[in-house]
Amino acid sequence: MSRQSSRDTAPEVAVRRILHAAGLRYRVNVPVPGMSRRTIDIVFPKAKVAVFLDGCFWHGCPQHATSPKSNAEWWRAKLDKNMARDVETTEHLEQEGWTVLRFWEHEPAEDVALRIRAVAKGQGKGPDRP
């Protein structure tokens, strides 16, 4: 797992490239305020918008998540813990007044960037998922 990229993944870079080309400026891999060992993928600090681009395997995508066959119990517990951590992080940020946007890695980068742009500029709302 230490070899798994936790930053600058292909979906993150693709979305960031589109946002930057649209003139939006942001910060990347910012620690979650008040929570240790957690980072936000893309942050708009002034607008208090936190964006997470979640991997389908690691975060339990309902469409694409798979369960490993070997050591299945351990993996199930690990992935359940990841999903619980996502919910906890989202709730914490929302209580602190942040708008939290979560997207799956399989969502088209153009669609994701369009939704982020609308929210960051105060013209839309985020997806309905934790």
Say what the pTM is. Answer: 0.87
Q: List CB contacts of 47: < 8 A, sequence separation 6 or more.
A: 99, 119, 120, 121, 122
Q: What pLDDT was estimated at residue 5? A: 57
Could you read off the pLDDT of 20-47 as tens digits, one per residue? 999 999 999 999 999 988 999 999 999 9
In angstroms, the CA 58 to CA 50 distance is: 19
What are the structural domain ranges in the chain?
Answer: 10-120
Could you read off the pLDDT of 78-126 as tens digits, one per residue? 999 999 999 999 999 999 999 999 999 999 999 999 999 999 988 666 6
3-state secondary structure of 122: coil
Stronger pLDDT, 40 or 1, i.e. the higher one: 40
Domain 10-120: CATH architecture, name and number where available: 3-Layer(aba) Sandwich (3.40)
